[in-house]
Structures are given as structure tokens and as C-alpha cells.
Amino acid sequence: MAKPVAIEVYNPNGKYRVVSTKPMPGTRWINLLVDQGCRVEICHLKKTILSVEDIINLIGNRCDGVIGQLTEDWGETLFSALSKAGGKAFSNMAEAILVNCSRGPVIDEEALVNHLRENPMFRVGLDVFEEEPFMKPGLADMKNAIVVPHIASASKWTREGMATLAALNVVGRIKGYPIWSDPNRVDPFLNENASPPNASPSIVNSKALGLPVSKL
């Protein structure tokens, strides 16, 4: 069981230990954690999806929180490992506000409903659900829950950006451009004051199609 390598550490003397199973765009999320006294560890292991064993090694003997991916096998084994390492769960989040606008299945919705019912001061805002378009029984009736129908991206800037990227994907395929090397770094395609790179910004199945990758 090899320990994941290439761990990037921010604020090494932080009071709380938070690990991320992969790098994420930007640095604001890191700064927010550091400002709250967290030591942030980011795994740069070159795997599309980390195995359960890899993540358990990342968690180690003491861990206050993990930022993971929905595609990872986040089941009882990993949640148990995190709990044993001191990670927080619903049961010991007495007064908090939980916001999920990423993917529904990252939260056990049935457990959430029970916790909301038993802890009136705990609040939640949800834009996504475990089994869309349905919600678990009781969730919609919770006075300490705000739910909206998967519209977190419904700002003018975001929707215009999505349309721009879609159009540039089409242009890229017509022109025979390679695929942009980092689909999480699309700012160069959204800069209205400069011409976009000669690449397709985000073809999800480009690897399966064997499309060439840009060196930019």
C-alpha cells in the first residue's frame, strides 16, 4: 500500500488538517482555509481517480476534513476512516450552515434530513440532490433548509461563458485544433480583449477519441 507522493502543503503549522485528493483551480479556496487556521495538503498523485487505499493513506491518523471527488469511492470505509481520524460529520456539527452546489451524492440526504430535524440550529442550502429531480422525504418540509432547482450556474456571466466555450469547442473541431491541456484553466478563452487560443477548450471524451492535446 504505497503512500501518495507529491503532497503540496500550505500553512504547515495550521491547527486543523485538511487534505484535497487533487489540485483545484485557483488559490482562493486555499486562502479561505488558511485564514481559518487550516493546514492544507494537496495530493498531486497522477491518477484520474484515487483508490480507497490512497485516500486512507492521505487521511492518516489525524484529519479534520477532506475535499474529494464524487468519482472516488466515498462509502462507509472512507467515512469511517475520516471519523476515526477526527474528521467532522453531521453528528458533531451543532450550529453550522452546510452549502452543496456541486453534486448531490456527496451528501447522504436521508441522514441530513434526520440531522436537520434533530438540530434546528443546523442549516443547509442545497442546489443539487442525491437522486435528482427527487428529494428524500421530509427535506422540502424542513424550515432550516433552503432548496433551489440546480440553478447555481444561472448567472449571466457563467451562462455566457458556457455558451462561449461550447462555441469554441465547435470551432476547434472544425479547424482541427488540438484539445486544451487543462480544462480547468479556461480563462484565456473567456478574455474578451484577446483572441482565444487555437485549441478546443473542453472536449470531455477527447482522450477516448484519441484527440491530440495542445502544448499550450
The residues assigned a catalytic role are 103, 132, 150
Q: Show the cell assigned to 193.
A: 480583449
> Are the C-beta atoms of 135 and 147 separated by less than 8 Å?
yes
User: Which is it for strands 7-10 and 38-43: parallel, antiparallel or unpaired?
Assistant: antiparallel
Nearest by Cα to 133 from 115, 153, 116, 151: 151
**Hey, what's the cell of 62?**
489525524
**Distance between CA 117 and CA 99 in Å, rounded?**
17
